[in-house]
Amino acid sequence: MATKYMIVSGFLGSGKTTTMISMARNINARLREQGQEGHAAIIANDLGAKNLVDADFTRTADVDIAEIAGDCICYVTEDLVTAITRLANAGANLVMSDIPGAGVGALDHVYLTLKDEYPGQFDLLPLTCLVDPMRLRMMLPGDARRNIHLPEEVRFLLNAQLLEADLIVLNKVDLIDDEEREADLEFIRRAYPDVPVMAISARTGEGIPELVDYVLSHEATAEPRDLGLDSEEFDAAEAQMCWYNRRFFAKERDERNIDFNAVVEDLMEGIRDGLIEARRNVPHLKLFAAGEDGDFVKCSIVGVDYDLEFERKLQRDYTAMAIIVNARATCESEAFGEIVEDAMDAIKRKYNLKCNVIFTECFGFADEGRRNGGRASRY
């Protein structure tokens, strides 16, 4: 039987990882209740090479997961097919993956490519695009709160993501009242009249059973659509973004036990402060660190104007920890790197830490030398 496969797209920090985990848990509980074989699995995909918060976090969620790192699934079809097949061989009958980076291009590069090059091998479920109410405000006409300190250029990406979708899902409805929810849904229905719209909260689980029912009973359209991805607007939007992944080992110099939740909070706040000073933003800054016996801390901010959110805090103190920081920022890559160094210097001083950096990558989408495996040169 063909393996079901679908992509969850959407803007940075819109809740793709949280939604996929929530959907997988719902599907797996149903299958268990019905005594049926199979399960839902997740592919965590990222442009960065390694040390990815989403992959480590998903592993804590009792859901089968594969990781495709180093490039977008749009450009590594063979790796994608290998990963789906491996998960299917391990018993998965539905595989979901997100799409990193600009969050568009999956229709052409994944759905249509799988349909043409691997006919009959996959049942393609609706390309599902998440949008969260705060980002949607960027598009709402005359909305007084539309300035959320993201560059104007990225509005193009939001629109292209929604144009590409077979299903649009308004996520994070727990953060808005009924009136705003209705206004948002109405705006989406008018702007994208041919696309069905649903509302969920991946955090509380509201709407997840209905979303699962929908995707399991519908197919992807998988027909070419012009999204304007060859345009200058697309290039301009991509050029705003930089990717930053770091893993470091932080050790209290006198081997004393300390509260690493406080270290994490100060590091995140330090990066936020640096960005505010530089008048830049970070659509998603996330951090993960694992302790002993399943103890871990995971936290995020989805912009400099947002509260720090801990999905989980450490339950005990440690003398040392490996910490992973990922950022998808609207900032020049070099400047972002310096902001992180400053924030790290501050936690080193405050908590008497020695920090060994194990891995860092930091690149702008449009940085010279990023493509061609870094072989580009000038003379």
Ligand X SMILES: Nc1nc2c(ncn2[C@@H]2O[C@H](COP(=O)(O)OP(=O)(O)OP(=O)(O)O)[C@@H](O)[C@H]2O)c(=O)[nH]1
- Chain positions contacting ligand X, by CB under 6 A: 10, 12-18, 54, 98, 171-172, 174-175, 201-203, 284, 300, 302, 309, 311, 328
Q: How far is the CB of 45 from ligand X (least distance, A)?
A: 9
Of the pair 55, 125, the CB lying nearest ligand X is at: 55
CA gap 168, 188 in Å, rounded: 8
Q: Residue 300 binds which one of ligand X, Mg ion, none, with CB within 5 to 8 A depending on kind?
A: ligand X
CA gap 268, 300 in Å, rounded: 8
Of the pair 124, 130, the CB lying nearest ligand X is at: 130
CA gap 79, 68 in Å, rounded: 7
Residue 17 interacts with Mg ion (CB under 5 A): yes or no: yes
Residue 56 interacts with Mg ion (CB under 5 A): yes or no: no
Residue 238 interacts with Mg ion (CB under 5 A): yes or no: no
Residue with token string 């910490």: 323
Burial 306-343 (b: 16+ CB within 10 A, else e): beeebeeebeeebeebebbbbbbbbbbbeebbebbeeb
Residue 54 interacts with Mg ion (CB under 5 A): yes or no: yes
CA gap 347, 351 in Å, rounded: 6
Q: How far is the CB of 282 from ligand X (least distance, A)?
A: 10
CA gap 211, 208 in Å, rounded: 5
Q: How far is the CB of 135 from Mg ion (least distance, A)?
A: 14
Residue nearest to Mg ion (CB): 17
Beta bridge partners of 41: 64, 95
Of the pair 68, 250, the CB lying nearest Mg ion is at: 68
Burial 195-205 (b: 16+ CB within 10 A, else e): bebbbbbbbee
Q: Residue 203 binds which one of Mg ion, ligand X, none, with CB within 5 to 8 A depending on kind?
A: ligand X
Of the pair 272, 328, the CB lying nearest ligand X is at: 328
Of the pair 109, 328, the CB lying nearest ligand X is at: 328
Q: Residue 302 binds which one of Mg ion, ligand X, none, with CB within 5 to 8 A depending on kind?
A: ligand X
Of the pair 16, 247, the CB lying nearest Mg ion is at: 16
Cα–Cα distances in angstroms (integers) from residue 24 to residues 4, 17, 27, 45, 206, in the given order: 13, 11, 5, 16, 14
Q: Both tokens of residue 275?
A: 């960005």
- Residue 43 parent element (H or E): strand 39-45
Query: Residue count at the site for Mg ion (CB under 5 A)?
Result: 3
Residue 171 interacts with Mg ion (CB under 5 A): yes or no: no
The residue ranges that bind Mg ion (CB under 5 A) are: 16-17, 54
